[in-house]
Amino acid sequence: MSNTILVVAAHSDDEALGCGGTIAKHIAQGDQVTVAFMTNGVASRLDTPEHNTNATKRESAAQLALKALGVSNFHQFDFPDNKMDTVALLEVTQAIESVISACKPDTIYTHFGHDLNIDHRITHKAVMTACRPQSWSSVKKILSFEVLSSTEWNSPSINAFQPHYIVDISNYWNKKLAALKCYEDEMRDFPHSRSYQCVEALAILRGATHGFEKAEAFFVERILDV
């Protein structure tokens, strides 16, 4: 039986960095995948011509990246980039609830709750709020992903990302890489942690430490066995 998957990412590129290989694997397995982006990923004054051009460019990059992963369903919200803390959590939660009620996912992938990036943390909190475990909820599994240059950048005094759900993406690495290439402007030169080399190094580490060539690793927020 196929699964229905929802990926909730603060910015377009987070889905590729955090779970691009896993998305491609779900698609190959015949699962339905929807991706929701909470911001347009462009931080500047709204409604200026430059902002609008950059936002359009970022959205085109996202569409190409999703195509590379095989995803055709996505929602683009317009919450303020890097300023989601200026919006009421209720509003963000309601936006996520609208996507959940439209696609009725059994599994959700989203941000880790202790990332450095504020939009990541708010997206996480809004997902958890939208997915309060009620008997009528379709959501049975919530996994949070790591995004290099955010998950590992928070204070060591805060809970570190300790994954315990591992997905073998050895056969889907090329698709993840193809998606990342669509976001070339967001990638940085090595040794920045959001470089192609470091993303591949992490995939190798997550893979080889569990007996695979490459893997993506997740923190389990909830699994309901029903």
14: contact with Zn ion by CB under 5 A: yes
10 binds Zn ion (CB under 5 A): yes
Neighbouring CB atoms inside 10 A of 53's CB total: 11
Pick between residue 25 and residue 194 the one whose CB is nearest to Zn ion.
194
Chain position carrying tokens 């992903």:
145
SS3 state of residue 179: helix
Closer residue to Zn ion in complex, CB, 32/144: 144
Q: Which is nearer to Zn ion, 14 or 146 (CB)?
A: 14
| Number of residues engaging Zn ion in binding (CB under 5 A) | 3
The only residue of 11, 25, 141, 206 in contact with Zn ion, by rule CB under 5 A: 11
CB of 135 to Zn ion, least distance (A): 33
Angle between helices 49-69 and 14-28 (to 10 degrees): 30
Give the interface segment with Zn ion, choosing from 14-22, 82-90, 159-167, 173-181 (CB under 5 A).
14-22
Cα–Cα distance, 165 to 145 (Å, whole number): 10
- The least distance separating Zn ion from the CB of residue 116, rounded to whole angstroms, comes to 10
* DSSP state letters, 181-222: HHTGGG---TTSTTSHHHHHHHHHHHHHTTTSSSEEEEEEEE
- Residue ranges in contact with Zn ion by CB under 5 A: 10-11, 14
